[in-house]
């Protein structure tokens, strides 16, 4: 798995690419959320468009990120969740927790709002 | 016909991708539709990771065995660890409601059961935990 980070104004964009499965890589994702918040980014966009595989561990780290950002009075949104990941969101009811978008402009607008 | 295929791996998270590739390869050879392979591997891998973590305490010296068999109209995967934990009792049914939704763990069995439709747990004759997943072929 790879993590690409970029700043778009006041928004930290975290793009995950590849297989998101249990292991050391997940700690890097968790650290990316914490680092963003510690650097005063309160608006986080997580792009899952490049994720080819994800299990409950991957969902867990997204929940962890959501909690980290929420505690800092910030907001996190999900972009480009694949059909398979969306199915996992529904099974686990996380669809009621995450705001999901398929358009980056709309996702950024939601964070600005 | 696929019968008696097995893979034994140490309980080490670094082996997870190897197991995932194994499961999808078996699924493909066994007739699982290509667009279902990811769901199959996610379901089986939830059981594999649970076995490594809860049954074998992520001890690399404790093996995890994944067996695959083709049955009429379906594939069977069995995951055996060296523990004697009781997944339904120990893990419960998640995700629950309210604040429980924000737990970072506890979704594995729920996901496996929803994707595979049929997942059960029992004990081997030696008293070790065994998870059985049935994947119907369409």
Domain segments of chain B as ranges: 5-136
Q: What pLDDT sits at residue B89?
A: 61
CA distance B113 to A39: 40
Q: What pLDDT sits at residue A110?
A: 95
Neighbours of A19 (CB within 10 A): 17
Of the options 3.30.750.24, 3.40.80.10, 3.10.180.10, 3.40.630.30, the CATH number for the domain spanning A2-112: 3.30.750.24
**Is the distance from CB of B41 to CB of B26 less than 8 angstroms?**
no
Which residues, including other chains, have CB under 8 Å from residue A76's CB and lie 6 or more apart?
A33, A43, A44, A45, A46, A65, A66, A69, A70, A98, A99
Ordered by start, the domain boundaries in chain A are 2-112
* pLDDT tens per residue, range B81-118: 999 877 766 555 566 677 778 888 889 999 999 999 79
pLDDT (average), residues A8-37: 95
Residue B11 near chain A (CB below 8 Å): no
**Average pLDDT, whole number, for chain B?**
90
**Is the distance from CB of B41 to CB of B95 less than 8 angstroms?**
no
Show residues of chain B in contact with A56, CB under 8 Å: 46, 49, 105, 107-108, 111
Residue B95 near chain A (CB below 8 Å): yes
Q: Which fold has domain B5-136?
A: Heat Shock Protein 90 (3.30.565)
**Position B11 confidence tier, pLDDT thresholds 50, 70, 90:** very high
ipTM above 0.85, yes or no: yes
Contact flag B107-A56 (C-beta cutoff 8 Å): yes
Rg (CA), chain B: 14
* pLDDT tens per residue, range B32-80: 999 999 999 999 999 999 999 999 999 999 999 999 999 999 999 999 9
CA-based nearest residue to A57, from A103, A99, A24, A104: A24
Residue B92 near chain A (CB below 8 Å): no
């Amino acid at each position: 798995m790879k993590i690409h980070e970029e700043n778009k104004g006041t928004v930290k964009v975290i793009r995950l690419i590849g297989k998101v499965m249990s292991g050391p890589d997940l700690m890097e994702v968790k650290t990316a959320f914490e680092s963003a918040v510690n650097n005063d980014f309160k608006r986080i966009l997580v792009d899952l468009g490049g994720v080819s595989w994800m299990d409950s561990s991957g969902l867990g780290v997204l929940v962890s990120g959501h909690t980290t950002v929420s505690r800092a009075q910030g907001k996190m949104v999900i972009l480009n969740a694949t059909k398979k990941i969306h199915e996992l969101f529904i099974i686990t009811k996380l669809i009621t927790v995450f705001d999901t978008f398929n358009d980056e402009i709309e996702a950024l607008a939601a964070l600005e709002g | 016909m696929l019968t008696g295929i097995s893979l034994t791996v140490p309980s080490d998270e670094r082996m997870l991708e190897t197991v995932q590739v194994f499961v999808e390869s078996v699924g493909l050879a066994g007739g699982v539709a290509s667009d279902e392979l990811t769901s199959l591997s996610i379901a089986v891998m939830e059981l594999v990771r649970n076995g490594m973590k809860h049954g074998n305490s992520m001890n690399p010296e404790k093996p995890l065995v994944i067996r695959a068999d083709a049955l009429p109209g379906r594939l069977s995967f069995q995951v055996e660890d060296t523990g004697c934990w009781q997944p339904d009792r120990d893990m419960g049914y998640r995700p629950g409601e309210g604040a429980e939704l924000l737990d970072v763990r506890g979704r594995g069995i729920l996901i496996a059961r929803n994707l595979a439709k049929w997942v059960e747990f029992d004990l081997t004759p030696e008293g070790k935990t065994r998870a059985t997943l049935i994947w119907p072929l369409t």
